[in-house]
């Protein structure tokens, strides 16, 4: 453990400054580029602590929020973290995701909680909850978290949270009705000492087509090469014949895109945009930002690979914002905030 350094740099020209005296306080763990932060700030929250260890993500976070997140959460002493009302954490999903589990199984390495580097980070969240007892815990992870290890992983998570005196609610939500992307994620909201459980907002509706966020004129550099396109087609045909593995198709722009993932920068196979009389193209980083519902003014990194990775790892902003509105209303009900509730 190391003593937490003062990490707040008030940057006058950051894109999303926050009020020092918000309606409630929150912390942003595994902050990435600040998807939770944008949502919580939009309902009047003030961020009092953030943690993210990836240098590129820290830079993007600083450009947008004027604050460098603290680093490795496992090295931060829980009592050094300021008091807060809401704890937000999109803890790393690779040990629990379907792709992560099958890759680790084939390499004969541990997954889930047994993965020593990333699987135990949930328990770092729990030691902060035990010390600080925020009114609300707000977590996000892959949908496979619910089924991982035949449901045992999820049962351990639920039990650990309930033992600390919180109600436990979760929902698997597909973001496709609020962004043009199929993105199913597990959201967990837990309320301290509450006789009622959190009720998630409704995400029913028509899926949004990919074409709504595409730029009409995209530089040629985004068109994939003949070699890459031929390789995609060859491997797709082989894998379809054997019934498993990599497939790459042009997207149907009348439908939502496939889930954006951190590896998208490698070859774009998850979402290739069809073009007339030429090879398909990759999405631009700005289009990826839109797929996650980020505002146009969000500053994206100069490095394309970093930008793709960061948006692939991020949350679908309109989903977390709608949940944040309900969390704010709960804080009102328990009188942690004294302003008017947000109408959905
Ligand atoms: C799924 S992403 C969360 C993305 C975030 N919710 C957003 O909106 O951008 C998980 C993040 O946890 C970070 N991370 C992983 N291990 C960490 C650790 N020990 N300490 C701090 N951050 C860590 C990763 O770098 C990654 O950015």
Question: What residue spans define the domains of the chain?
Answer: 24-206+311-333, 210-294
Identify the band that residue 105 occupies on the pLDDT scale cut at 50, 70 and 90. Answer: low
Q: Is the pLDDT of residue 7 over 50?
A: no
pLDDT in tens, 191-229: 999 989 999 999 999 999 999 999 999 999 999 999 999
Decide: 32 in ligand 1 pocket, CB within 6 A.
yes
Query: What mean pLDDT, rounded, does the chain reach?
Result: 89
List the single range of 48-57, 141-150, 213-222 with lowest mean pLDDT.
Answer: 141-150
- At residue 21, the pLDDT reads 77
| Nearest of 324, 5, 292 to residue 187 by alpha carbon | 324
| Nearest of 259, 238, 245 to residue 319 by alpha carbon | 259
Quick one: average pLDDT of 262-270? 89
How many whole angstroms from 72 Cα to the centroid of ligand 1? 9
Q: Is the pLDDT of residue 288 over 70?
A: yes
In ligand 1, the atom with minimum distance to the C-alpha of 320 is 8
Higher pLDDT, 341 or 33: 33
Decide: 120 in ligand 1 pocket, CB within 6 A.
no
Q: Is 247 exposed, middle or buried (0-12, 13-18, 19+ CB in 10 A)?
A: middle
Residue that has been written with the tokens 């942690």 in this structure: 336
Decide: 59 in ligand 1 pocket, CB within 6 A.
no
Look up the CATH number of domain 24-206+311-333: 3.40.50.150
- At residue 18, the pLDDT reads 87
List the single range of 94-98, 211-215, 248-252 with lowest mean pLDDT.
Answer: 94-98
Quick one: average pLDDT of 263-277? 91
Ligand 1 pocket test, pick from 39, 140, 313, 320 with the greatest ligand atom count within 8 Å of Cβ, gives: 313
- At residue 109, the pLDDT reads 66
Higher pLDDT, 297 or 93: 297
In ligand 1, the atom with minimum distance to the C-alpha of 73 is 20
Task: Say which CATH topology domain 210-294 has.
Answer: DNA Methylase; Chain A, domain 2 (3.90.120)
Q: Using alpha carbons only, what angle is made at residue 60 by residues 57 and 63, rounded to the nearest 5 degrees? A: 150
Quick one: CA torsion of 152, 153, 154, 156, rounded to 10 degrees?
A: 80
In ligand 1, the atom with minimum distance to the C-alpha of 140 is 6
Quick one: average pLDDT of 325-332? 95
As a whole-number percent, the residues of the chain with pLDDT over 70 amount to 87
Determine the 3-state secondary structure of 129 from DSSP.
Answer: helix
- At residue 31, the pLDDT reads 98
Q: Is 93 a catalytic residue?
A: yes
How many whole angstroms from 107 Cα to the centroid of ligand 1? 23
Q: Within 10 A of 102 (CB to CB), how many other CB atoms are there?
A: 12
Q: Is the pLDDT of residue 274 over 80?
A: yes
Same fold, 24-206+311-333 and 210-294: no
Quick one: average pLDDT of 259-273? 91
Decide: 138 in ligand 1 pocket, CB within 6 A.
no
How many whole angstroms from 228 Cα to the centroid of ligand 1? 30
Identify the band that residue 159 occupies on the pLDDT scale cut at 50, 70 and 90. Answer: very high
- At residue 221, the pLDDT reads 96
Identify the band that residue 3 occupies on the pLDDT scale cut at 50, 70 and 90. Answer: very low
Identify the active-site residue in 47, 88, 93, 115.
93
Measured CA to CA, the distance from residue 245 to residue 329 in angstroms comes to 45
Quick one: average pLDDT of 322-337? 90
Decide: 268 in ligand 1 pocket, CB within 6 A.
no
- At residue 116, the pLDDT reads 57
List the single range of 29-43, 77-91, 247-261 with lowest mean pLDDT.
Answer: 247-261
Please count the CA atoms within 13 angstroms of the CA of 53 that sit on its side-chain side: 10
Decide: 73 in ligand 1 pocket, CB within 6 A.
yes
């Amino acid at each position: 453990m190391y003593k937490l350094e003062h990490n707040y740099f008030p940057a006058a020209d950051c894109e999303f400054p926050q009020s020092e005296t918000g309606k409630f306080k929150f912390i942003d763990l595994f902050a990435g580029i600040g998807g939770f932060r944008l949502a919580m700030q939009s309902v009047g929250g003030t961020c009092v602590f953030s943690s993210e260890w990836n240098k590129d993500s820290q830079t993007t976070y600083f450009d947008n929020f004027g604050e460098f997140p603290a680093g490795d959460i496992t090295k931060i002493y829980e009592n050094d973290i300021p008091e807060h009302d809401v704890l937000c954490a999109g803890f790393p999903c690779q040990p629990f995701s379907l792709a992560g589990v099958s890759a680790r199984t084939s390499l004969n390495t541990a997954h889930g909680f047994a993965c020593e580097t990333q699987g135990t980070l949930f328990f770092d969240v729990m030691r902060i909850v035990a010390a600080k007892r925020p009114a609300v815990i707000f977590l996000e992870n892959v949908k496979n978290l619910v089924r991982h290890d035949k449901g045992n992983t999820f049962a351990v998570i639920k039990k650990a949270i309930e033992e600390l005196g919180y109600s436990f609610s979760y929902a698997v939500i597909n973001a496709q009705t609020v962004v043009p992307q199929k993105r199913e994620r597990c959201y967990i909201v837990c309320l301290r000492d509450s006789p009622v459980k959190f009720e998630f907002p409704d995400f029913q509706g028509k899926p949004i087509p990919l074409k709504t966020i595409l730029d009409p004129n995209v530089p040629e550099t985004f068109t994939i090469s003949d070699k890459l396109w031929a390789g995609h087609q060859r491997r797709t045909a082989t894998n379809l014949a054997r019934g498993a593995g990599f497939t790459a198709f042009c997207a149907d722009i009348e439908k939502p895109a496939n889930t954006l993932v951190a590896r998208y920068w490698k070859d774009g196979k998850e979402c290739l945009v069809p073009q007339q009389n030429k090879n398909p193209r990759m999405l631009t980083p700005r289009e990826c930002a839109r797929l996650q519902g980020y505002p146009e003014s969000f500053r994206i990194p100069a490095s394309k690979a970093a930008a793709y990775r960061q948006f692939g790892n991020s949350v679908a902003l309109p989903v977390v914002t709608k949940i944040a509105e309900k969390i704010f209303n709960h804080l009102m009900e328990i009188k942690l905030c004294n302003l008017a509730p947000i109408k959905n």
